[in-house]
Amino acid sequence: MDEIRCSTHEFSKPAFDARPLAVRNATTPARGTTTTFSFGFSTTHEGVTLKKHTAAAVAAALVLAATLVPAASASADEGHNPTIVASTPVNRPTGLSEIASVFVEANGTSYQTDSYSGSITKTTVAGAVTTLVAAHSGYLSGLTAYNGVLYYFDRFPAQAFTDPPDIWLMSVPVAGGTPKQVVHYSDWQLDHEPDAANVYGFYNTPQSCIDQFLGLRGLEPGIEYGSYADYSYATQTVATASGIYLSDSGRNSVLKVTYTGAVSVVAVLPPEPAIVADQAFLDRNYFPQCALGKKYAPRPAPSGITQGPDGNFYVTTLPNGYPGTSLALKGGIYRINPATGVSKRIIGSLKAPSGISATPSGTLYVAEGRGGTDGTGGISVVRVNAAIARPLTNVVGASSVRYIKDKLYIPTSNSLKVVTLTYK
C-alpha cells in the first residue's frame, strides 16, 4: 500500500465495538455511542471509513499553529490587489527542534511550542530566545494569546494502546510564570459528538460488499495500526474577547472554549465532496472490487482556522485528516458565520492544507504541506473574492502560517521561517 490515512481509535459506551473498522462504520452504529478523539493517529487505509468515525487528529487532531486577526493595519498597498512578492524564507532561532505551533505579537516577538519536548520558547525580533514552559512529557499545540496570556493545548500520551490521550487547555502569562489548567478538554470530547448526523465514506454499499471488508489487510477486530502517540499535532486556534476558537479535526467541527473552560459548538462541517472510487483508489487501499464506482465522501477534518476582517472564520480542511493520501490533495477552505454556524466551501483543490491566516484587508495565506512547485510544501494566497488559491512561495514542510505586518511566520517540522512580503 503506497498510501496511509490517519485515524484515531474508537470507543463505545458502555462496550468497545470489536468489529473491524470498515464494518463498524458501514453498519451505522447508534448515534451518541461512539467517540472519536481528536489527537493521535494510526496508520491505516486511506479511505477505510464506510460510515462514521475514523477521526484523525490532523495534521494532528487538535493542529498546529495559532492565528489571530492582527490588530495592526495592513500595508497601504496590500489591500489593492497588487502583485505580491515573497522574499526567500529566513530561519528564526527558536531553541526548538520540532515546532508544532506559533503565535506572533504585533511587534514581531514570536512564541512557539515544541511538539515532542513539551516546551514553549519566546524569540524577540533581535533573536534572543528564552524558555517560558520547561520541557515535559506533554505535546503542546494550538498556541495563541489574549490579554497578556498564552493559551495552548497540552496532550499527554495514552498509557495503553486502547486509552484516549489526556488533553488540557492550559494558560501561562507571556511574561512567564506557572502554567495553569483551564479545562480538561478530552472530558468534553468523550461526551460530545457534534457531527453525529454526518455520513462519511462509501454511500449505498450493499451488505454483501461490506462483508468483503472483513479482515482487510489482516487487521484484528477492534485494532488498528499505530497508537494515539503516532503522528500527532494540533489545530490552530484564534483568541477573541469571548474565548478561544479552534478547529477540531476529530469532531469535524469548529468549537469555542471560554476563558473559564466552557466548551460549545460553533459549526459542524459537512462531509467533503464525494469522489467516485476508481481502480487506483481501490488498489491503493486494498479495497474489494465491489466498491468500484461507489461514491466515497471523506471527513472534512478541519485543520487551520483564522478570522477575517468581516468577522467570519475561515477554516482549511484536510480530507480524512492525513496529508499523505490522494484525498489530501482535495482540501478546501470554508467560510463560517460564527453567529449562525452556517458554512460554505469557497475554495477547493488545496494540497494538504494545514494552516491559514487572514490579513486586515481579507487576503488569506494558506500553508499547504504538499504545495509549492515541487509538492514538498508551500504558501498559497487567496485574494478577496477570488475563486482559487495561487502559489506564492515554496517552503518545505510548511505546517501553518501567521501573517503580521507584511511578514509570514511559517512553522516547519524543525524550524520557523520568516518571509517578507512586498507589493508591486
Mean pLDDT score, 86-109: 92
Name the band, by pLDDT with cuts 50, 70 and 90, for residue 365.
very high
Are residues 228 and 297 in contact, defined by beta-carbon separation less than 8 angstroms? Answer: no
Q: Mapping DSSP to helix (H, G, I), strand (E, B) and coil, where does residue 300 land?
A: coil
The C-alpha atoms of residue 240 and residue 245 are separated, in whole angstroms, by: 8
Instruction: State the DSSP H helix or E strand holding residue 148, giving kind and residue range, or none if neither.
Output: none
Mean pLDDT score, 69-85: 57
DSSP secondary structure string for all residues of 106-118: TTS-EEEEETTT-
DSSP secondary structure string for all residues of 313-356: EEEEE-GGG-TTSGGGGGEEEEEE-TTT--EEEEEEEESSEEEE
Mean pLDDT score, 367-394: 93
> If you average pLDDT over each of 26-40, 135-149, 150-164, which comes out highest?
135-149
Confidence at residue 283, expressed as pLDDT on a 0 to 100 scale: 84
The C-alpha atoms of residue 132 and residue 389 are separated, in whole angstroms, by: 36
Give residue-wise pLDDT tens across range 303-344: 999 999 999 999 999 988 778 888 889 999 999 999 999 999
Tell which wins on pLDDT, 33 or 268.
268
H-state helical runs in 134-201: 185-191
For residue 322, give the C-alpha cell.
492525513
Confidence at residue 232, expressed as pLDDT on a 0 to 100 scale: 36
Mean pLDDT score, 381-396: 93
Which residues, 6 or more positions from 275, have their beta carbon under 8 angstroms from its beta carbon? 281, 295, 296, 297, 298, 327, 330
Confidence at residue 244, expressed as pLDDT on a 0 to 100 scale: 96
Give residue-wise pLDDT tens across range 397-420: 999 999 999 999 999 878 999 999
Distances (CA, A) of 223 to 5, 140, 226, 408: 15, 27, 9, 41
Least confident of 7-21, 46-60, 227-241, 242-256: 7-21
The C-alpha atoms of residue 164 and residue 156 are separated, in whole angstroms, by: 10
Confidence at residue 162, expressed as pLDDT on a 0 to 100 scale: 52
Which residues, 6 or more positions from 378, have their beta carbon under 8 angstroms from its beta carbon? 367, 368, 371, 372, 391, 392, 393, 394, 395, 398
Q: Mapping DSSP to helix (H, G, I), strand (E, B) and coil, where does residue 359 land?
A: coil
The C-alpha atoms of residue 374 and residue 94 are separated, in whole angstroms, by: 27
Tell which wins on pLDDT, 341 or 228.
341
Name the band, by pLDDT with cuts 50, 70 and 90, for residue 32.
very low
> If you average pLDDT over each of 37-46, 56-65, 301-310, which comes out highest?
301-310
Give residue-wise pLDDT tens across range 190-201: 888 899 898 888
CATH of the domain at 39: 2.130.10.10
Mean pLDDT score, 166-170: 90
Judged against a pLDDT cut of 90, whether residue 257 lies above it is answered with: yes
Number of C-beta neighbours around residue 192 at 10 A: 17
Percent of residues, the chain, with pLDDT higher than 90: 50
Nearest to residue 35, comparing CAs of 14, 20, 19, 64?
A: 14
Distances (CA, A) of 19 to 5, 11, 47, 66, 306: 19, 12, 17, 38, 39
Confidence at residue 11, expressed as pLDDT on a 0 to 100 scale: 29
Confidence at residue 215, expressed as pLDDT on a 0 to 100 scale: 54
Judged against a pLDDT cut of 90, whether residue 76 lies above it is answered with: no
Q: Mapping DSSP to helix (H, G, I), strand (E, B) and coil, where does residue 5 land?
A: strand
Are residues 41 and 63 in contact, defined by beta-carbon separation less than 8 angstroms? Answer: no
> What range does the domain containing 396 cover?
5-423
Judged against a pLDDT cut of 70, whether residue 350 lies above it is answered with: yes
Mean pLDDT estimate for the chain: 77
For residue 162, give the C-alpha cell.
486502547
Confidence at residue 207, expressed as pLDDT on a 0 to 100 scale: 79
Confidence at residue 91, expressed as pLDDT on a 0 to 100 scale: 94
Judged against a pLDDT cut of 50, whether residue 70 lies above it is answered with: no
- Number of compact structural domains in the chain: 1
Tell which wins on pLDDT, 66 or 258.
258
Least confident of 151-165, 244-258, 364-378: 151-165
Are residues 252 and 318 in contact, defined by beta-carbon separation less than 8 angstroms? Answer: no
Q: Mapping DSSP to helix (H, G, I), strand (E, B) and coil, where does residue 271 land?
A: coil
Q: Indicate the pairing of strand 90-92 with strand 416-423.
A: antiparallel
pTM above 0.85, yes or no: no
